[in-house]
A and B are shown apart, each in its own frame.
Chain A
Amino acid sequence: MEPVLVVDGIEKSFGGLKVTDKVSFSMFPGDLTAIIGPNGAGKTTLFNILTGHLAPDAGSIRFEGKEIAGARTQDIVTMGMGRAFQITSIFPEETVLDNVRVACLSKLREATVFIRPISAHKRATDRAYQILESLGLEKFSDRRAFELSHGDQKLLDIGIALALEPKLLLLDEPTSGMSPEERLLTRELIKKLWSLFNLTLLFIEHDMDMVFGIALKVLVLQQGALLVEGTPEEIRSNPEVITAYLGEEL
């Protein structure tokens, strides 16, 4: 099977500080991989590099066989990389439906059509409702996005990314700021979305129940470098990881 993503020795420094240090890994279709690591380990920076928000100083990133290191965000996204954000990134004044629909329109290349009203774009509208249903947000479709609870806004953020039908979906701490109940629901939901939409998923997470509950593979970052990579069982018993987390029981 061809890998979706091959990251090979990427590096990034801010001033003298090395925030990404020779990181290499691959993602295959259907992978469900978690990235863990202490604060400041360079997890979000890695996402920023993958999505073209930052250009790496060295190394290569091959996405679907094409080199994308240093490419522009909008081009990488158009190639099929989706991303949801740690700090919720939605369109607060638009309706919940339109938040997802704008992404559906974008995917169908109808996002800059003018004169024809949005509601006449049936395919995008149906697709948007379908995604809202899979997230359990369809009952809020007419509400403005800022009226949603924090947890639902995070789901909406994921919904926007899902609407682009990504070949690889990056989720940056999907449960951050959620209540324990919301976390549990979100964990189940992400697992469900993964199988429902045949996703290839790479997510950053601090909640270990979520990481060891659903991930098939785990990458551990520490001080910008990839410490280990393996199945949840291997990671749990790895002495290096245990030390990195200061003896915390995983």
Chain B
Amino acid sequence: MESNKRGWTTQWAGIAVLALFALLPLVKTSDYQLTVANNVLLWAVFAMSFNMLFGVTGMLSFGQALYFGFGAYSVGLFAYYQGTWWFLPALFLGMAGSGILALLIGPLVLRLTGVYFTMLTLAFAQLGWGIVVKWYDFTNGDDGIQGIMPPAALSNKVVYYYFCLVLVSVSVWFLWRISRSPFGLMLRCIRQNPSRVRFLGRRVKRNQLRIYVISAVFTALAGGLMAGVDNSVHTGMWYWTTSGEVILMSILGGMGQFFGPFVGAAIMILIEDMVGARTEFWSMVIGIVMLTMVILLPKGVVGELVQLKERLFKRSSALGV
């Protein structure tokens, strides 16, 4: 009846990609490769929940590291002080805590718009980073926390990988449903024309706060699961470069596309991994890739592909093919 076709394509592409990730451990992958794949999955969730703010609602938060670090350290600190048994409860406590934190900080940062909003989110995240670095007695400061083990049932690398894959799939599914729902439409409308949204009788800031909280919860999930991948947490997870990384991933993959940030995360992690193994100047390669993308393919990898497909399709239909 209506333009559901594109929706279906995206949905099947997503299912296919996640199925591919599910097959990875079966085709004889080393522990290291599995860790890289897990990194891609978790960063993808982080980047996608960030993009719900940025690409969908038009809120450029430069402080998502706050919730990533919060999720990671919830797991890290509980496992460190209370033992491995606390790994899973801490994961969910971290998500809940992150949501509450976002509910408290959200109304403050949402008072401002545009670049002022961005700066304020950065300020709050740096505040969190400062606390974690300085509070040595509790957080181990710059030393971080090592030896964080998932509970016995998940201690096998492959099992933990599948555990992450399931939670990642559920998260992606949930965010996908949001973006196809009336709420998702409302968020896109807020990005394009917030003053008209008020003339629909809807509150712009309240809806922005809703997605800010949802984004924080899934960001904390990614952070918490990451603690189990690296078996450690470190203060860098709270640092502004971590916030910056998901911005780059979203732009690289295409902020206007649901799976753009997923693809962006995969590309960034693979570049880091493959180029990083050969030279310490891998960040230069990322710089060059970003530069090329922004100048030549501003819609990002997925965005440009979709446009290419639309153009080809339109031309062939115009020719009556």
Contacts and interface: CB of A to CB of B under 8 A. Distances in A.
Interface string B171-202: 00010011011111110110011011011111
B210 interface: yes
Given A113-B181, A114-B177, A97 B198 contact: no
A208 to B, nearest CB: 28
Contacts, number: 104
Contacts of B195: 89
Given A102-B182, A114-B177, A114-B183, A89 B200 contact: no
A112 B210 contact: yes
Contacts of A115: 174, 177-178, 181
Contacts of B196: 85, 89-91, 160
B2 interface: yes
Contact of B182 (A51, A95, A97, A110): A110
B201 A164 contact: yes
Interface in B1-20: 1-4
Interface in A115-140: 115-119, 121, 124
A94 B185 contact: yes
Contacts of B174: 115
B134 interface: no
A90 B193 contact: yes
B202 A118 contact: no
Nearest to A52: B198
Interface residues of A, number: 41
A141 to B, nearest CB: 7
B202 A111 contact: yes
A13 interface: no
A73 interface: yes
Contacts of B181: 113-118
A58 interface: no
Given A89-B195, A90-B193, A114-B181, A78 B186 contact: no
Given A73-B198, A77-B198, A93-B188, A105 B203 contact: no
B199 A77 contact: yes
A107 B201 CA distance: 8
A169 to B, nearest CB: 12
A173 interface: no
A102 B196 CA distance: 11
A91 B2 contact: no
A103 B200 CA distance: 6
B169 interface: no
Interface of A: 51, 73-75, 77-78, 82-83, 85, 89-95, 97-98, 101-103, 105-107, 110-119, 121, 124, 141-142, 160-161, 164
Interface of B: 1-4, 174, 177-178, 180-186, 188-189, 192-193, 195-196, 198-203, 207, 210
